[in-house]
Structure 1
Amino acid sequence: MYTLTNFEGTREAEDIRRFWQNFLHPSISKTPWSQEEVQQLKEVSRRHEERHWETIAQELGTGRTAFMCLQTFQRFVSDSLRHSSWTPAEDDLLRELVDKMRIGNFVPYTQMSYFMEGRDPAQLIYRWNQVLDPSLKKGLWSKEEDELLLQAVFRHRAKNWWKIRLEVPGRTDSACRDR
């Protein structure tokens, strides 16, 4: 029986066990997916109606977990789930729509998505809040921002980054987490 290290309280033992079981175990392939393997995943997943990922992973037989198969399917196989890169024209259109449709602090992303073919509201929210919003700050952090970040982490703990970012104006949740 393996004993699990606590990692100074940053992870629960069950989290570490799952990580070993689903990613670190030596039987799990960590190599990049080949084009042939992705094509095989496409065929196997279609036979199973894009469900039953444990069965798909076993039938694929390449040492991938069910989660790895689902994740790769979503990124490279599924036409409806695959996300393409944003074009400069899409960025310009999103900026224009936010400018015209914003009501105070409310941005009607669902309505805006009707004007952006192939983009859903969640994609618009992410793109605006994490990339395009002109109030976002990038680059070096000031001492004041560091102090706000430390106070927010103390208040909300280091797992609620979406709450923490609200207390550090101009910084994204990922910027706060990375800092």
Structure 2
Amino acid sequence: MSMYQKIYKGEFRCPKWMSSDLKRFLSQLLDTNPTSRIAIDEIMRDPWFKKGYKEIKYCKNDENLDTMKEEYKKLVDLNAFDIISFSTEISLLGLFDDLHCAVGDVEQLTVAEMPHKVIEKVEEMVKCEKKNTVRLRRKKEFGIELEGQNVKFFIGLEVYRLTESLTVVEAKMISGEALDSLCCGRRKLGR
């Protein structure tokens, strides 16, 4: 409940590594007063926002537009609640998951890849395993289940697009003792 009160009051702390420009920008963006909150046109003119910004021009007759729309529909976007639920300090898994895991049984990592590339890397890792010790099943669009045969474990992997260049990979151990083996996979995925 205190988290919602802090959100309502606009109380937040920025990490020390954030630049002063970013802290100023966030304080304007998260202002609780809608009349003094930064507007979209002001965001576009903000010096911090302009760093690295490339304006995209849309053309109605673009042939690739339809294929791009189809590709983006396939990706799983995260909303603010999803990102909050990824917090290491609070675990909301018990509220929403049928297969409730203890907090220690979930590993999350962020990689600089698109979701389909992460899935491909996991599939390659499984193919490279000696003697087919790991069985892989596609769960949904960006989900995989891994089952160990010699070493008894069962892991569910879900991949979420965080931004255009960042992806969150969430590994849930459903049974067995396999989180130690995730460190090896973490290195191979690029973290």
- TM score, norm. by length of structure 1: 0.28
| Structure with a larger share of its residues in helix | 1
Q: Which of the pair has the greater relative contact order for Cα pairs under 8 Å at 6+ separation? A: 2
| Structure with a larger share of its residues in strand | 2
- TM score, norm. by length of structure 2: 0.27
